[in-house]
Chains A and B, each alone.
Chain A
Amino acid sequence: MIAEIGLAALWLAAALAVLQMVSGGFALRSAEGAPNPMAIYARPAAVVQAVLAVLAFLLLLYAFAITDLSIKLVATNSHSMKPMIYKLTGTWGNHEGSMLLWVGVLALSGGLLAAFEKRLPERTMGATLAVQGFVALGFYAFLLLSSNPFERLPVPAVEGVGLNPLLQDIGLAIHPPTLYAGYVGLSVAFSLAMGALLTKEVNPNFARVMRPWVLGAWVLLTFGITAGSYWAYYELGWGGWWFWDPVENASLMPWLAATALMHSVSVLAARDALRTWTIMLGVLAFSMSMLGTFLVRSGVLTSVHAFAVDPERGAFILGLLGLYIGGAFTIFALRAGAVAEGKRFSATSREGALVFNNVMLSAILAIVLLGTLYPLLTEAFDVRVSVGPPYFNPAAAIFAVPMFLVMAVGPLLRWKEDKPARIQFEMLLVAAVLIAVIALVSFFGNFPLLPLLGLGLAAALAVAAVLPLKGRKLTRVPVATWGMVLAHFGVAVSLFGMACEGAFTQERLAAVAPGGTEQVGDFAVTLQSVTPVAGPNWTAIEARLAVSQNGGEPVILAPQARNFWSPPQATSESALLTRWDGQLYAVIGNQAEDGRWQIRVWWKPFVTFIWYGGLLIALGGVLAIAGRVKVDVKRRKATAMGDARRADLEALGAAAPVPAE
């Protein structure tokens, strides 16, 4: 029965999405002050739809939990012998389940928006809900027509096929759902942008409504990318943390657009400038998340972590993409000219710096997009080319370096207009740190250009990040400003980790007999023994490595080479020794003919800073949301009190009490 109820819930939710779309559309036709009678259904439809879609997802989760092998999706992706946690995470470790999760989160955000957002004019809200319903409807159609997660098998399977072992990992439990939630947040921002564009209500009020969604999406994307990078780092077994793989790029591109959008929407909220630019970025950010979905699931590009792909699905997503993005860009081209230009500002102002960095972020986005899609373009002419890190790194750096420089001084500038001479001291300080660090590092060794620049920029950015606090009373600094400081400092921390990993990593690959010792950096690594071990659904050989730093007390590391039997696949489980100043990364490989074992050991100084930085950035975003919400709640309370007082005064002054609105 579970599957049937889930399917029914999905169909009902789809029907409600139609209602939401039509009813929201009627709001556009309502006259000023007189709401259209047909428009009142949009909000309740969104709320009920949220309940139904979430219910459908929970039912699928339950089917996975009890390993209901009569459901095809469970039979092809799960196994009764799997640990419970991976049975649950397996729910979204496949195409259909992850789409259902996506739809569930999408409906939930639509419901929240409909239930709690009262600041927008009804017409704009109606248009927003109509767009939101339209987007949701496309995904319901996709699920129900081509990727039904609840399909039954004619005869229940005896046993499930199992989940790809690479995905049986706690990193998978958090990484994809966070990314999906981030994508969904961008879809809400998209709906809001379209609603505002359609009703020409692109103003600070709209920006304040949009901001928490953008910030929330951005925090989730930041966190998701950070988690995904760490997962790839320890799971793929070679110590790489970013491969510029199409799937990774697919998650990076929405993040770049969201970063630009977040800054742009702040300018719109604070200064009523950058109106069309914000709308454009809103459309772009959502386009990038849709594009990412298309690239990952259609199989047009090859990648290490692609889903089981199907061109039919690809065609469906491409159709949705054409409908949403093509439609949005058409409306943009038709309407954006009619949006009045926002407030003006000079080049040397905080807006000026933000515009510069928005352009740089967009340029990096363009490079990543080009590099990712270029192989697709040449394949159309039957030429195969490879675009990889040696292209992406320098090409992105061309724009990233000026961006970091402007990012260092931007927050110090005043809004609207400023004189560079006013922040002379700060600029000199940042420049001095940059040059000193680069000079110092190049004095001690010969390092590649990009890590060297990275080290200098990281130091300069770390100093610059805290400069906005200079001369202010720390207890009175707004929470949102702390968020910015923390996020910018996080960028410096992450950049430092990347540069150190690039410049100072030490590698040791060797065949070692039990008892043998290898040296890497300050560490002596002794292979004590190699023994077979078994887990619930795998067997493995496990090495015991005694690692001693500078002759100190040895620590035991136990990397494994695992063989999963359902589905059969080998993975290498790296073992990590984390120190404050870096990580030792050990992997056990094959046995050589003479009985020695291949081991791979890396000492990666400060590599963990890459992900600490990512977490700091995300935390900065959380603080920014908290700060905005605090201010917002205060403002609402103040308005409510003001209204109450006015009503009281009126009641006292007037003979007959006015009925409350």
Chain B
Amino acid sequence: MIRVMLVLLAALMALPVAAQDSMPPAPYAYNQLEDPAMEAEAAALMATLRCLKCQSQSIADSDAPMAGDMRHQVRSRILAGESPAEIRAWLIARYGDYVSYEPTVSASTWPLFAVPVLVILIGAGVLLRRLGKRRSDAGDAA
């Protein structure tokens, strides 16, 4: 029981322990790019990058300072002329696939794509069995 309480307390304490700095955010953390087309590109990319300090949030939805710094990286690199794909590749080279929400088929993610196909097949099978056959013998149904 005491252990449970400690866990609880630790969970509550975890917030102040992860103290944050008082520094103002990086220039492009909370400011948009001038060019709407570039900003749209950056925004679309940011929505598919994972905030590393948060839990299941993209860097586009997070107030964590590190998410802000990542947004700054994305915007300033877009401004410097890099393509979203290059920026994503740059981040993946540093943090692995974990940093990207963009679904890609790889050795570790192929089931994510195989299973929906399987579901389509099973769904079609179930429907054919339940509905397809009936048409022929609907006449003798009670």
Contacts and interface: CB of A to CB of B under 8 A. Distances in A.
- On whether A and B touch (CB less than 8 Å), the answer reads yes
Interface of A: 72, 76, 146-148, 151, 161, 164, 236-238, 240, 243-246, 302-304, 306, 308-310, 312, 343-347, 352, 355-356, 359-360, 362-363, 366-367, 370-371, 374, 377-378, 381, 383-391, 395, 398-399, 416-417, 507-511, 567-570, 572, 589-593, 598, 600
A347 B131 contact: yes
Interface in B78-131: 96-103, 108-109, 111-112, 115-116, 119-120, 123, 126-127, 130-131
A366 B115 contact: yes
29 contacts: A76-B5, A76-B9, A164-B12, A238-B60, A343-B142, A344-B134, A344-B142, A347-B131, A352-B131, A359-B127, A363-B119, A363-B120, A366-B119, A370-B112, A385-B97, A386-B98, A387-B101, A390-B47, A390-B102, A391-B112, A507-B43, A508-B32, A509-B30, A509-B32, A568-B16, A592-B25, A598-B25, A598-B30, A598-B31
Contacts of B132: 347
Given A302-B55, A568-B16, A592 B24 contact: yes
A308 B12 contact: yes
A371 B100 contact: no
Q: How large is the interface on B (under 10, 10 to 19, 20 to 34, 35 or more residues)?
A: 35 or more
Given A245-B56, A384-B98, A567 B9 contact: no
B108 A378 contact: yes
Nearest to B50: A386
Contact of B130 (A343, A355, A370): A355
Contacts of B25: 589-590, 592, 598
A343 B141 contact: yes
B8 A76 contact: yes
A311 to B, nearest CB: 9
A367 B7 contact: no
A387 B134 CA distance: 39
Contacts of B103: 387, 390-391
A98 B33 CA distance: 45
B24 A590 contact: yes
Contacts of B56: 243-246, 302-304, 388
Contact of A374 (B31, B62, B111): B111
Nearest to A599: B30
Given A385-B109, A388-B101, A360 B55 contact: no
B134 to A, nearest CB: 5
Contacts of A377: 111
Nearest to B55: A302
B116 A237 contact: no
Interface in B1-50: 1, 3-5, 7-9, 11-12, 15-16, 24-25, 30-32, 43, 47-48, 50
A367 B123 contact: no
Given A390-B48, A416-B141, A598-B31, 8 more contacts: A309-B7, A310-B4, A363-B119, A388-B50, A388-B58, A390-B102, A391-B101, A507-B43
B31 to A, nearest CB: 6
B127 A386 contact: no
A359 B9 CA distance: 45
A370 B101 contact: no
Contact of B24 (A151, A387, A593): A593
Nearest to B131: A347
Which 6 residue pairs spanning A and B have beta carbons closest together? A388-B101, A344-B141, A347-B131, A308-B11, A238-B61, A302-B55
A304 B54 CA distance: 7
A510 B134 contact: no
Contacts of A507: 32, 43
B11 A309 contact: yes
Contacts of A378: 108
Given A302-B56, A590-B24, A344 B138 contact: yes
B28 to A, nearest CB: 10
Given A306-B55, A347-B134, A569 B4 contact: no
Contacts of B101: 386-391
A188 B112 CA distance: 33
Interface centre among A345, A377, A387, A390 (most CB of B within 10 A): A390
Nearest to B65: A590
A600 B68 CA distance: 14
Given A303-B56, A387-B112, A509-B30, A355 B131 contact: yes
Contact of A567 (B3, B12, B31): B12
B139 to A, nearest CB: 10
Nearest to A153: B5
Contacts of A384: 96-98
Contacts of A386: 50, 97-101
B32 A345 contact: no
A511 B30 contact: yes
B32 to A, nearest CB: 5
Contacts of A237: 63
B73 to A, nearest CB: 16
Nearest to B8: A308
- Most B CB contacts (10 A, CB to CB) among A237, A309, A343, A370 go to A370
B57 A304 contact: yes
